[in-house]
Structure formats: C-alpha cells, structure tokens
C-alpha cells in the first residue's frame, strides 16, 4: 500500500518535470532563458562530485543540525516548565504571541550587525526560528495530558514530579516530535536564507550567490534543488521516527495512516 | 507571585541569550603580539564578491604574496556592500570590498570607515545601457519616459546612467529606474518589465549572445571616464588598531594589482577559482583596470559627481576617508 502511494507520488513529480521541460523547451520562445528541468537535474547530479558544493552542503547541514539541537535543548524544557506551571504560562503567553509571528528572516540583518562570528550568527537565527514550533507544540502536548491519568497517580500518592515524569512527559512527547519536524523545515529555510543575506566561506546559499554572479542560472537552480531535497529527506526521516516511536499515540488518537 | 515568576523566567531567557551570544566575545582569530613579522594580527577575514573586481585578493593568496608578509588571509564571500558594512562594524570581517559610491554615502551618514586600498577602475564597455535588438530606442534621448533596470537604486548604477542622461538633455526625472538583479535583467526586459537595463560583465556578453541585446550607451564615458568603482575598506578603529597588518595587506594587494594589470592571463586563470565564470567566458569578457595605489585625486571625482547629482548633500574631502599609511 505504501508502495502504491510512493508510485503515485513519483508519477506526479515526473509529470510535473515533463510539463516543465516541454514548456521551457517549446512554450516560452527565445525571449526567456531558463534552464529546463533536465539541465537542472543533470547539473544537480554533477554537484555531488563538486568539492566546493559539497563543502557548502556540509557547512549548511552542520549549522542546521547544531541550530536544531540547541533549539530543542531550550524549547522542550521551557515548554515543559511553562506547561507544568499554568500561571507562568499565562503571564508569558502575550510575549510568545508577539514574538512568534515575527518573520524570522527579518531578524537576519539585525543578527549580522550584532553577532560578529559568522557561524554563530547563522546558528542563532536558526535557533530563534526553530524555537517557536517546538515550544508551542510542547505546550499543546502538556495541555493535552489525560487529566484522569494525572488524578489517578496523584490519588495513589505520587508527587508532582512523578506525575510529570510518568504521565505528562510521555504523553507530550509525540507533540514535541511534531514540533521538531515543523521546526526542521523552518530551520532549513533560515540556514539557507542567512547564507543568501550574509554570505560566508561556504554553504548552499553562498554557492547560489556565486552561481548567480557568474550568470549560471542552471547551477543556482541545481543548488536550490539540493536545498529542497534536504528538506524532503529531513521530513521523511523525522516522520518515520515519529511513526516508530509513537505508534501508540496514533492508535490512541485514531489518526489515519497519512 | 505570577509576576515574580515571570520576571525570573525572563531573566532566565536573557541569561540564555547572553550565554549564546557571549561565546562570541573571543573568536578564534589570531592576535599574537610577538611574531616574526611584527604584525598585530596575522589572520584576517576579507570579504569579497564572486565577481572580477577583487581578483587581486585571490592572486595575492595564490602567489603567496600574503604569506610573504606573514599574513594569513581568509576570503569570505559577501553579498554586497550593504551587508558587508555591518560585518566590518561587528568585526565578522576585518576588511571588505566596497563600491566607492556606497562608501561615500555611508561616510556622509557618519559611518567611521576608511578606504584602505584601491581595487577596480572602469574601462570602456564595462557598464553599458543595453536594449533588445529590435527596440525602438536608438539613442539615450529616446529613454525619456522609459523604465531602466539597475542592480541597486541610488548607487553607482543610477549615477552612471544620470551622467549619460545629462549629455542627452534629460534628468533622472525623465526616466523610471527599477531594481533588478543582474542575472534576471535579460529575461525581465524581454518580458516587457523594463525598456532598457544597466548591466555589467559577464552579463553584457551573455545577453549579447543569448538575445542579441545591443549597447545603447557606454556609461563610463564623459564625466565617468575611468571612474573608480571599487576598493577595500575597514573601520577607522580597525586601521588604528592594526596599522602594520594593514600595511602588509596593502603591499601584497598592490603587488597583485600590478600582476593583474600587466597580464590579463593572471585574471583569466584566477576567475574560475572563485567565481562561476568559466575559462571560456573569462577570456572574452571586458575587464576594467586594477590600480595599484589609492589616489585621492582620482577618487575625488566620485565624490564630486555624487555631489553634483545630489547623491551627497555636502562635499566630502576624499583624503579624510583614506586610511593614513604607516610611516616608516
């Protein structure tokens, strides 16, 4: 069944590429120069043996991973803390609601000005952007804990800490995982955007700028293709991890195979 | 109670933020006081765009000119002068390339920056106004009421175009400037978003061969002939703190500028290593010149033109913007 779904997805993607290829080769005429999907895919394949690009890919991945780890390290404990102490959450909520919708890309110029170490600047903006989805999902998870389970433990004489560890945390974990998955996508956007805006010694975004300045639209698109693939792969891996670790959660909530 | 907790949580947040940024206090840059060369700082980060202008940075590095001065230079790709300025101010970069129009505009706004070395000077057919081959626009005067693409508004692009408009009896008010990155200009002009574009290499060559675009005017003629385009900048504070490092950088860059000026092959060889301009394109594109010393009289022309066309409110004495060389 999964095989059939995969097949349909692949057919959709292939169809889109073929249409793109036809439109670019025959539809737009001589007035527009834009690399066709086949050219982009060919260049994308070549990039995998391009030392410059691979160094950039490594740098972007490293910043991204580090940013995600720090964001998880801050947001999960903070979310649990706020979730466990409702009065504090009510007090902080307005601040969160104010900070959350600020487009994270808009803070990059500020970060460039304030943070003198390039890598640190990039990791910081990734952390900032990834923080919110993880924090908010952790909070939702903490709210979603079954009150009967908590009450049962309490009536058996367990203290608040035991209730937190035995009921609240396991119950909130699937929500945290969803938050991490959403944050991974946003973190990647910031990882590449920071490179596009600030430059650097290596990175996918740095490579894209270099290709643009040299009038190599095909290389720009090929590098962008890999940035997109990173996002797809990260999402699939995290989704698979969620399914494996939290299958009981889907059974409980009755979520459909999606 | 709630408020108090909130405060402590806020304090925690601030502490975390400080801890995150605090690591930046001492970065890895070498500041060895006692080394053989006597430089205050032996490893510097230098920002440059992936275009032909800063080629001497890469020549100096490849030929070991920096090394001979006891200097380790790490080139960092920047995205434009607007982003590079905060980067030298924050200390992320020691030195960065800049275009002179941006620099003088920033100086007027009170930025404490100094020009430390010259880089690139305009030659013929380096910055052209181009139109599609079948465009009804035949002369600069025909641009009246038309839209012209430039890479940045209110910068060297618009200044250069304005000098040509003036010759044709027009002013900036007679045309409409619109911003568009160089790689997208050709397609965008063809789709009717603008009537003409101000464009540089390698895009002049590319649009000529892809679309048959023709050159309406070379904007580096008349008032702008041999206009200084780009140079190296640092903050005033940096030049005072590291005078010997700066002198060493200057000697190496100057030597590389001479190498670039005397043999075009040096440039063609170097371009594919730090840009995506391949060897074939590198051999046909038009290049400017690479002056080996910063000359205040030449640079004054840029500031004077900016004043004449309203890019500066007051005149700037360029000598005051040039870093004083180390005596002895």
Whole-angstrom distance, CA of residue A253 vs CA of residue A41: 41
Give the pLDDT band of residue B326 (cuts 50, 70, 90): low
Give the pLDDT band of residue B75 (cuts 50, 70, 90): very high
Query: Mind listing the pLDDT tens digit for each residue in B143-161?
Result: 999 999 999 888 999 999 9
Question: Region B123-127: what's the mean pLDDT?
Answer: 92
pLDDT attached to residue B38: 82
pLDDT attached to residue B1: 39
- Burial (CB < 10 A; 0-12, 13-18, 19+), residue A50, is middle
pLDDT of residue A158 exceeding 90, the answer is no
Question: Region B218-243: what's the mean pLDDT?
Answer: 93
Give the pair of three-digit tokens for residue B282: 């590198």
pLDDT attached to residue A222: 94
Is residue B206 domain-shared with residue B271, that is, in the same domain? no
Residue numbers of the domain that contains B148: 127-224
pLDDT attached to residue A254: 56
Residue B15 near chain A (CB below 8 Å): no
pLDDT of residue B121 exceeding 50, the answer is yes
Shortest CA gap A29–chain B (Å)? 11
pLDDT attached to residue A95: 85
Laid out side by side, the sheet with B127-131 consists of B176-179, B147-150, B196-200, B127-131, B214-218
pLDDT of residue A78 exceeding 80, the answer is yes
Residue A112 near chain B (CB below 8 Å): yes
* Cross-chain residue pair B74–A201, CB shorter than 8 Å: yes
Question: Region A79-91: what's the mean pLDDT?
Answer: 86
Residue A116 near chain B (CB below 8 Å): yes
pLDDT of residue B304 exceeding 90, the answer is yes
Residue B312 lies in a domain: yes
Query: Mind listing the pLDDT tens digit for each residue in A241-257?
Result: 888 888 776 666 655 44
Is residue B207 domain-shared with residue B283, that is, in the same domain? no
Residue B38 lies in a domain: no
CATH number at B294 reads 3.40.190.10
Angle at Cα A142 formed by Cα A127 and Cα B2, nearest 5°?
A: 85
Shortest CA gap B237–chain A (Å)? 15
More confident residue, B27 or B66: B66
Q: Which chain B residue has its CA at the smallest distance from A73's CA?
A: B16
Question: Region B157-169: what's the mean pLDDT?
Answer: 92
Q: Which chain A residue has its CA at the smallest distance from B88's CA?
A: A116
Residue B194 lies in a domain: yes
Lowest-confidence pick of A225-234, B28-37, B103-112, B303-312: B28-37
Question: Region A215-239: what's the mean pLDDT?
Answer: 92
Question: Region B275-288: what's the mean pLDDT?
Answer: 90
* Cross-chain residue pair B77–A201, CB shorter than 8 Å: yes
Q: Which of B5, B49, B183 sits opposite A215 (nearest CB)?
A: B183
pLDDT attached to residue A26: 75
Residue B35 lies in a domain: no
Q: What percent of chain B has pLDDT over 70?
A: 87
pLDDT of residue B17 exceeding 60, the answer is no
* Tally of domains within chain B: 2
Q: Which of B1, B23, B92 sits opposite A118 (nearest CB)?
A: B92
> What is the rounded average pLDDT for all residues in chain A?
86
Is residue B187 domain-shared with residue B114, that is, in the same domain? no
pLDDT attached to residue A224: 93
Is residue B309 domain-shared with residue B291, that is, in the same domain? yes
pLDDT attached to residue A113: 86
Q: Which of A117, A127, A215 sits opposite B202 (nearest CB)?
A: A215
Give the pLDDT band of residue B56 (cuts 50, 70, 90): very high
* Window A:117-136, CB contacts with B under 8 Å: 117-118, 120-121, 124, 127
Give the pair of three-digit tokens for residue B129: 């106004």
pLDDT of residue B77 exceeding 60, the answer is yes
Picking from B206, B224, B242, the residue at the C-terminal end of a domain is B224
pLDDT attached to residue B328: 42
pLDDT attached to residue A166: 82
Q: Which chain B residue has its CA at the smallest distance from A90's CA?
A: B2
pLDDT of residue A200 exceeding 70, the answer is yes
Is residue B115 domain-shared with residue B137, that is, in the same domain? no
A219 contacts in B (CB within 8 Å)?
276
* Cross-chain residue pair B83–A31, CB shorter than 8 Å: no
Is residue B252 domain-shared with residue B302, that is, in the same domain? yes
Q: Which of B77, B187, B202 sits opposite A214 (nearest CB)?
A: B202
Residue A98 near chain B (CB below 8 Å): no
Decide if the complex's ipTM is over 0.90: no
Is residue B102 domain-shared with residue B169, that is, in the same domain? no
pLDDT of residue B15 exceeding 90, the answer is no
Q: Which of A88, A112, A216 sits opposite B87 (nearest CB)?
A: A112
Whole-angstrom distance, CA of residue A223 vs CA of residue B93: 26
Is residue B117 domain-shared with residue B199, that is, in the same domain? no
Residue B67 near chain A (CB below 8 Å): no
Between chain A and chain B, the number of residue pairs with CB atoms below 8 A apart is: 126
Residue B32 lies in a domain: no
Handedness of CA A191, A195, A197, A200 (dihedral sign): positive
Angle at Cα B207 formed by Cα B204 and Cα B211, nearest 5°?
A: 150
pLDDT attached to residue B2: 42
Whole-angstrom distance, CA of residue A207 vs CA of residue A220: 8
pLDDT of residue A231 exceeding 60, the answer is yes
> What is the rounded average pLDDT for all residues in chain B?
86
B202 contacts in A (CB within 8 Å)?
214-215
Q: How many CB atoms lie within 10 A of CB A146?
A: 12
pLDDT attached to residue A129: 92
Residue B18 lies in a domain: no
B6 contacts in A (CB within 8 Å)?
88, 91-92
* Window B:44-63, CB contacts with A under 8 Å: 47, 49-51
pLDDT of residue B28 exceeding 70, the answer is no
CATH of domain A59-244: 1.10.3720.10
* Window B:83-102, CB contacts with A under 8 Å: 83, 86-87, 89-92
Whole-angstrom distance, CA of residue A212 vs CA of residue A209: 5
> How far is the first Cα of chain B from the last one, in angstroms, to the nearest whole number?
67
Q: Three-class SS string for chain A? A: CHHHHHHHHHHHHHHHHHHHHHHHHHHCHHHCCCCCHHHHHHHHHHHCCCHHHHHHHHHHHHHHHHHHHHHHHHHHHHHHHHHHCHHHHHHHHHHHHHHCCCCHHHHHHHHHHHCCCHHHHHHHHHHHHHHHHHHHHHHHHHHCCCHHHHHHHHHCCCCHHHHHHHHHHHHHHHHHHHHHHHHHHHHHHHHHHHHHHHCECCCHHHHHHHHHHCCCHHHHHHHHHHHHHHHHHHHHHHHHHHHHHCHHHHHHHCCCCC
Question: Region B279-296: what's the mean pLDDT?
Answer: 90
pLDDT attached to residue B29: 44
Residue B204 near chain A (CB below 8 Å): no
CA distances from B208 to A30, A31, A77, A218, B203 (A): 13, 12, 59, 19, 8
Residue B31 lies in a domain: no
Give the pLDDT band of residue B327 (cuts 50, 70, 90): low
Give the pLDDT band of residue B22 (cuts 50, 70, 90): very low
Is residue B139 domain-shared with residue B185, that is, in the same domain? yes
Is residue B258 domain-shared with residue B132, that is, in the same domain? no
B212 contacts in A (CB within 8 Å)?
none
Q: Which chain B residue has its CA at the smallest distance from A82's CA?
A: B9
Q: Which of B20, B50, B190 sits opposite A31 (nearest CB)?
A: B190
Mutate to test the interface with A, among B43, B93, B183, B280 (most CBs of A within 10 A): B183
Is residue B219 domain-shared with residue B74, that is, in the same domain? no
Whole-angstrom Cα Rg for chain A: 22
Lowest-confidence pick of A66-75, A240-249, B220-229: A240-249
Shortest CA gap A64–chain B (Å)? 16
Give the pLDDT band of residue A2 (cuts 50, 70, 90): low
Is residue B186 domain-shared with residue B54, that is, in the same domain? no
Q: How many CB atoms lie within 10 A of CB A82?
A: 22
Residue A217 near chain B (CB below 8 Å): yes
Residue B33 lies in a domain: no
Question: Region B310-314: what's the mean pLDDT?
Answer: 91
pLDDT attached to residue A226: 94
């Amino acid at each position: 069944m999964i095989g059939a779904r995969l097949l349909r997805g692949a057919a959709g993607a292939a169809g889109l590429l073929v249409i793109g290829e036809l439109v670019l080769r025959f539809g737009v005429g001589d007035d527009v120069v834009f690399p066709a999907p086949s050219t982009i895919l060919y260049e994308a394949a070549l990039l995998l043996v391009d030392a410059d690009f691979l160094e950039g890919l490594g740098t972007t991945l490293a910043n991204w991973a580090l940013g995600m780890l720090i964001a998880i390290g801050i947001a999960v404990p903070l979310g649990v803390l706020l979730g466990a102490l409702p009065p504090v959450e009510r007090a902080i909520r307005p601040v969160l609601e104010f900070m959350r919708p600020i487009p994270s890309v808009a803070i990059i110029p500020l970060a460039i000005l304030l943070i003198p170490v390039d890598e640190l600047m990039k990791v910081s903006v990734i952390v900032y952007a990834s923080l919110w989805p993880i924090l908010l999902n952790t909070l939702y998870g903490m709210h979603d804990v079954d009150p009967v389970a908590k009450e049962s433990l309490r009536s058996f004489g367990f203290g608040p800490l035991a209730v937190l560890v035995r009921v609240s945390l396991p119950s909130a974990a699937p929500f945290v995982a969803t938050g991490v998955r959403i944050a991974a996508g946003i973190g990647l956007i910031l990882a590449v955007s920071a490179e596009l805006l600030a430059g650097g010694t290596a990175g996918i975004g740095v490579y894209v700028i270099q290709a643009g300045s040299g009038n190599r639209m095909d290389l720009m698109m090929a590098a962008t293709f890999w940035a997109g693939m990173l996002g797809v792969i990260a999402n699939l891996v995290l989704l698979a991890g969620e399914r494996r670790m939290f299958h009981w959660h889907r059974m409980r909530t009755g979520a459909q195979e999606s | 109670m709630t408020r108090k907790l909130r405060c402590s949580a806020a304090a925690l947040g601030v502490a975390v933020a400080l801890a995150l940024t605090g690591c930046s206090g001492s970065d890895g840059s070498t500041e060895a006081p006692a080394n053989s060369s006597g430089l205050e700082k032996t490893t510097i980060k230098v920002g440059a765009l992936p275009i032909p202008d800063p080629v001497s940075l890469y020549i100096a590095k490849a030929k070991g000119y920096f090394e001979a001065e006891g200097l380790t230079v790490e080139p960092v790709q920047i995205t434009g002068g607007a982003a590079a300025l905060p980067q030298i101010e924050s200390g992320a970069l020691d030195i960065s390339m800049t275009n002179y129009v941006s620099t003088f505009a920033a100086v007027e706004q009170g930025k404490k920056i100094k020009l430390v070395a010259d880089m690139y000077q305009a030659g013929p057919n380096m910055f052209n106004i181009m139109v599609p081959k079948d465009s009804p626009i035949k002369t600069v005067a025909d641009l009246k009421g038309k839209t012209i693409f430039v890479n940045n508004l209110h910068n060297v692009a618009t200044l250069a175009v304005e000098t040509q408009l003036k010759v044709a009896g027009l002013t900036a008010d007679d045309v409409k400037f619109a911003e568009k990155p160089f790689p997208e200009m050709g397609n965008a002009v063809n789709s009717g978003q603008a009537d003409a574009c101000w464009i540089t290499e390698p895009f002049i060559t590319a649009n000529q061969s892809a679309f048959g675009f023709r050159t309406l005017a070379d904007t580096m003629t008349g008032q702008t002939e041999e206009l200084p385009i780009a140079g190296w900048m640092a903050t005033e504070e940096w030049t005072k703190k590291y005078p010997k490092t700066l002198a060493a950088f200057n000697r190496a860059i100057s030597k590389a500028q001479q190498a670039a000026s005397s043999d075009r092959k040096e440039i063609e060889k170097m371009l594919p290593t730090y840009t995506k301009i391949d060897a074939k394109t590198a051999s046909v594109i038009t290049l400017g010149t690479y002056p080996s010393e910063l000359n205040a009289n030449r640079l004054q022309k840029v500031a004077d033109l900016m004043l004449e066309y309203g890019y500066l409110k007051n005149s700037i004495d360029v000598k005051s913007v040039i870093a004083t060389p180390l005596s002895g």
